[in-house]
Amino acid sequence: MDITTLLANTGGTDFSLAGMWEQMGIFAKVILVLLLLMFLLSLAIVLERLRAYSRSRRHSIQYIMLLRNSCRSASCKRRSRRRRPTATARWRRSWALA
């Protein structure tokens, strides 16, 4: 015989949500409520983090655009040409001269 047939014939377990809730003890109900509260709290944290990250990304893009527009002046272009070469570039140049 199949196990589901045995359970159905003996008036076994009701697997609906209401049936399981009725068969739970008080300890199981408390644990279920605590798990549900923790799930809701973690969901709220995830949503808040997504909102904060999207806001910071938007602010970063605005700052980059502002910086790009302000660096189109001649003074920024002059400064960017005078940068010192990096250590790797100096090392490569020393090997090329040797």
pLDDT value, residue 83: 65
pLDDT at residue 41, rounded to an integer: 98
pLDDT of residue 17: 84
Mean pLDDT, contiguous 10-residue spans, the chain (98 residues): 61 79 92 97 97 93 85 62 67 66
Domain locations along the chain: 26-72
Q: Which DSSP string do the residues of 16-70 spell out, in sequence order?
A: SHHHHHHH--HHHHHHHHHHHHHHHHHHHHHHHHHHHHHHHHHHHHHHHHHHHHH
Per-residue pLDDT, 82: 59
